[in-house]
Structure 1
Amino acid sequence: MPAYVINDMEVLDPALLDEYKKLSPPTVAQYGGRFLARGGRTEVLEGSWTPRRLVILEFPSIEQARAWAESPEYAPAKALRQRAARSNIVVVEGAAPG
């Protein structure tokens, strides 16, 4: 079942985040993931949540998403992101088809 990694980040260092954005896509693809949203415009439809920079990734499963997040391939990019931004990240299992 697909899983979605959702990252709401507050960018602290845009130049450093640009470096992260170069390093992370190959690692996402290596673990079977793909970007669904990457910092595009957001609109609040209900409630008070106002994401700053929202990124959504899709992986084949929660296990695959976790493998990517904890992988040695992603580690250098992750370290850059952690210096460049404050993140709130969750993974959610997708709904069954039908």
Structure 2
Amino acid sequence: MPVYMIIEIKVIDYELYTKYVEKVPEIIKKYGGRYLVRGDKVLPMFGNWNPERIVIIEFETEEQVRNCFNSAEYLKVAPFRENSTITKSVIVNGYLPSE
């Protein structure tokens, strides 16, 4: 069953964030991840949630997500994200309709 990492991002240093964005897609791909959404055009629908930017990444397993974001490659670039954004993220199980 696929899993999805949903990330809410508020950028506070665009120059530093650009360095992160330049490096992380290759790492995501190496660990089996696939970007589904990388957008800053977010339209609120319900409630009081108006994120600046949303990213959704699909992985085949939760283990792949954890391996990716705990990898030496990712930990090397993580400070760019940590110092340039306010970030919240969750892992959500996907849904495979029965046939």
Q: Identify whether the pair has TM-score above 0.5, normalized to the shorter chain.
A: yes
Shift of 1:44: 1.2
Question: 1:71 & 1:62 partners in 2: Cα distance?
Answer: 14
Question: 2:79 & 2:97 partners in 1: Cα distance?
Answer: 36
User: Normalized against structure 2, the TM-score is what?
Assistant: 0.92
Q: Which residue is 1:10 aligned to?
A: 10
Shift of 1:73: 1.3
Q: How does 1:1-98 map to 2 (within 5 A)?
A: 1-98=1-98
Question: 1:93 & 1:79 partners in 2: Cα distance?
Answer: 27
Secondary structure of residue in 2 paired with 1:92: strand
Question: Structure 1 segments of 4 or more deviating over 4 A?
Answer: none
Amino acid at match of 2:87: S
User: Normalized against structure 1, the TM-score is what?
Assistant: 0.93
Shift of 1:47: 1.3
Aligned residues: 98
Shift of 1:82: 0.5
Shift of 1:71: 0.8
Shift of 1:62: 1.2
Shift of 1:39: 2.4
State the superposition RMSD in angstroms.
1.1
Task: Check the 8 A contact 2:12/2:85 in 1, yes or no.
Answer: yes
Unaligned ranges ≥5, structure 1: none
